[in-house]
Structure 1
């Protein structure tokens, strides 16, 4: 119960709050990593730890709820009950039967993340001062350089379509019943 409550609370908090709160707490108060900027070479890791950690923490709530729903739905199916009645171990039932059938909606959900990664990098790179496509896009918007903005939209669209194609191809590895004709 408390895990679900924590996940809902984490889903309800804006990603911007995680960024600002993380910068204030980890960088300003604890002084563990720099607040913003970027250094090349071996020093790059200390500039990337906080943005990556914030990206992971801000997505944990919704991801956990999504995976929980998928697995609870699969565990209540008849084939799981049959596998348990045959005397298969719980590990075998969960990994060979439940996980295999739950991977299809999980793979579909992964594709949805691709445009969000690009769009999320807009905020993250802007707040942390990391040079990349996100900050380049923000600079192009501010300078009203519409050719660059169109190019970024095109890149995002291509990434999304490639992700969809790779997801469809990965379905054949996950579920042998799915074949392309």
Structure 2
């Protein structure tokens, strides 16, 4: 098991290194520092002196990959490539166009983002498993049919519909929650209640249908017939056998859900005015701040890889066959 975990960790580090290199190539070779300067300064009719000044302020006036004017190791280290790639590895993302430290911004904005994503993740997975088991328990009845129709309906409706209707009903008409905004603890709960509820609602459809299918597939296997032959009740069969043997695909789907929630935070945070990583990314795009965009691309990739690494660890904890690899 230790060898498996070490191997997966090495794979994750290599993937992150590849993402870092690919991100640098896209931002500095395909889209050169001169192009960034022209976009930032107002188009094609920009004086060459202004471009050089903009590049010098950000350290982009040096060669990209190789500096022949430097001596020794400086030929490789005194470059834009070395400064930016090594800086990102050290979690030094540079500064915004306004001079703010991007690492400080991420550290302060990650709490609002996780405050939405983690409750949605836990509640959506828990409710989806419960509803999936309930539909399987009442399979081939009107309850199962009505549940499947409801789930398909939830899957067919855009998340924007849930957001707009939720804000109109619960914020404007009923005044139960604020329509937007954010506050640190302990007042944070009232601002997170509506976005968390909306996100959970539009995640229930696809997740519950998936888990219902997994449980139905497990019910047709030999070990389930053996458990029934021993006199176990249907609820005991579902909880003690079917659910346990469905953990691997459930963990896989859960591993896909958390990064999707982090990526989807842009939509929720924009509509609900939450000052998280999603709104920070949108601000960087609107302001054409390439340092913010590149930092968020790498940071988002890091969260994806970290989530999948945790999924691999969960595999090893759940499945004894994985521990022997």
Fold-level match, TM-score > 0.5? Answer: yes
Which structure is higher in RCO with an 8 Å CA cutoff and minimum separation 6?
2
Deviation beyond 6 Å, 4+ runs, structure 1 = none
Aligned residues: 181
1:52 to 196, 200, 209: 196
2:156 to 6, 9, 12: 12
CA distance in 1: counterparts of 2:156 and 2:206, whole angstroms: 9
CA distance in 2: counterparts of 1:49 and 1:180, whole angstroms: 43
2:300 to 153, 156, 162: 156
2:170 maps to 1:30: no
TM-score normalized with structure 1 length: 0.94
CA distance in 2: counterparts of 1:109 and 1:89, whole angstroms: 28
CA distance in 1: counterparts of 2:324 and 2:271, whole angstroms: 44
Structure 1 residue 180: Cα displacement:
4.6
The structure whose Rg is larger is 2
CA distance in 1: counterparts of 2:153 and 2:235, whole angstroms: 31
More helix by share: 1
Unaligned stretches of 5+ residues in structure 2:
1-144
Unaligned stretches of 5+ residues in structure 1:
none
CA distance in 2: counterparts of 1:97 and 1:44, whole angstroms: 39
CA distance in 1: counterparts of 2:270 and 2:217, whole angstroms: 40
Q: Residue 96 of structure 1 corresponds to which residue in structure 2?
A: 240
SS of the residue corresponding to residue 126 of structure 1 reads helix
Contact 1:80/1:98, CA 8 A, preserved across alignment = yes
Tell me the C-alpha RMSD between the 2 structures. Answer: 1.4
Contact 2:316/2:323, CA 8 A, preserved across alignment = yes
Q: Residue 141 of structure 1 corresponds to which residue in structure 2?
A: 285
2:253 maps to 1:82: no
1:117 to 227, 246, 261: 261
